[in-house]
Amino acid sequence: MSRSAHPAGPRHGDVLPEGHFTAPPADLNLLDPKVWSATVRRTDAGSVTVGGIDVRDLAEQFGTPAYVMDEQDFRARCRAWREAFGTGADVYYAGKAFLSRAVVRWLHEEGLNVDVCSGGELTVALSAGMPAERIAFHGNNKSKAELEYAVKSGVGHIVVDSYDELVRLSWIAQQQGVRQQILIRVTVGVEAHTHEFIATAHEDQKFGLSLSGGHAAEAVRRALTLDGLELRGIHSHIGSQIFDTAGFEVAARRVVGLLAEIKAEHGVELPEIDLGGGLGIAYTSDDDPREPAEIAGSLTEIVRRECAAADLTPPRISVEPGRAIVGPTAFTLYEVGTVKPLDGLRTYVSVDGGMSDNIRTALYDAEYSVALVSRASTAEPMLSRVVGKHCESGDIIVRDAFLPADLAPGDLIAVPATGAYCRSMASNYNHALKPPVVAVADGRSRVIVRRETEEDLLRLDIG
């Protein structure tokens, strides 16, 4: 097919249909550094490179779709978090955002710890050499087998989420003859301004023990008397993809308030608090995320001040960023398969992946950006919807975005900021094969998670 313009789709200046978009950008070739990883560049020849490698070479060598991860950017973000909090705090990378053995090694080298929330994540972290004492174990319904595995492995602490779990864990620790360090997860009653499915500190949801309902205090009472447990502190995670620091600040204040109550009731000063993850990232140029240093400064100061007022020794702080570290470091590289203009609406651009490699748009109405990366174009902006190849109309990757009107099958397009919660939430819907994760750094590329094959699918199907 020739690179002809598609006459039926809306263009610059047309009356546009309803949607989430703003005006088209002045130059579609520009790549906003807010949403693209640090080493992404458009070359003079027009194509895009990352870590010094042309995306066309990556597509040829590794195929599409593929997640392309910028190792240098990942490491820089780890360092930024560590430096922001300094030596008086611990940074646990939330493995649910994306976990692989290479990533665990990078985290280890950069001095971060890992938070896991399943036996599977724990296995990946341990198998890549993360010392068990630098791993925290989470979850609202950890199985008995997972708890036994975590205790036996010697994980640093387990974040307990219910009365049932307190008893279960106490029994398991006694069976194994150890005293397991724990934190208690509390619900601080903050309405985080984010999608309902990823807000976690309001009352009506499944996580934690409520502060206002007195359950947090009761869990502390029980934890202090149960054998096999050493209560180290309190944990709070208010939600995810949050831009406003106010919610974190209220949470910090309420957690310190609980520490003060615990001291008054039990004469015990708990030495740790974990304020969770949740810092938002830029998916489009309209998003304005906070920097780690900003959040570190305000949290550290609030904890210090509140502790001074309550006559408490300030506890050691830990945080659990996932998305803010890995999210911006990767993009998904797709090949365009079909370009279908719909009169008066928009142009549907179908790519070789879809909701199986990025479920976030369908699940949370997430917004993404997209760019043509195999070449530059001076064609008019064309209102587009990037869709996948799955058998449902909700299979949308980018709901509304502008792509050049000369877009054609065979072009490579990339969706930035897909490092978090895309590969980790990927599925085999329609027996799609999960894409590989390719790490690039300093002109070198390597697969860190290989593409699935049909043999992988058949290996599980033993019927």
Nearer to ligand LLP, 56 or 195 (CB): 195
The nearest distance, CB 420 to ligand LLP, in angstroms, is 6
Does the annotation mark 78 as catalytic?
no
Residues 6+ apart with CB under 8 A from 454: 433
Nearer to ligand LLP, 10 or 321 (CB): 321
**Which alpha helices (DSSP H) does 204-245 contain, by range?**
215-225
65 upstream amide cis, omega within 30 of 0? yes
The nearest distance, CB 276 to ligand LLP, in angstroms, is 5
Collapsing DSSP to helix, strand or coil, 310 comes out as coil
Find the catalytic residue in 78, 117, 391, 422. 391
CA 102 from chain center: how many Å?
Answer: 17
The nearest distance, CB 112 to ligand LLP, in angstroms, is 13
SS (H, E, C) 398-423: EEEEEEECCCCCCCEEEEECCCCCCH
Positions that interact with ligand LLP (CB under 6 A): 94, 96-97, 115, 138, 198, 237, 240-241, 276-279, 320-324, 360, 364, 420-421, 425
Nearer to ligand LLP, 36 or 81 (CB): 81
How many Cβ atoms are within 10 Å of 341's Cβ, its own excluded? 20
The nearest distance, CB 190 to ligand LLP, in angstroms, is 14
DSSP class per residue in 39-97: T-EE-TTS-EEETTEEHHHHHHHH-SSEEEEEHHHHHHHHHHHHHHH-TTEEEEEETTS
The residues that bridge with 233 in the sheet, in sequence order, are: 183, 272
- Alpha carbons within 13 angstroms on the beta-carbon side of residue 258 total 33
The nearest distance, CB 140 to ligand LLP, in angstroms, is 9
Eight-class DSSP state of 392: S
The nearest distance, CB 343 to ligand LLP, in angstroms, is 34
Nearer to ligand LLP, 405 or 415 (CB): 415
Nearer to ligand LLP, 315 or 322 (CB): 322
Nearer to ligand LLP, 312 or 425 (CB): 425
Q: Are 315 and 271 in contact (CB under 8 A)?
A: yes
SS (H, E, C) 424-438: HHCCCHHHCCCCCEE
* Residues noted as catalytic: 391
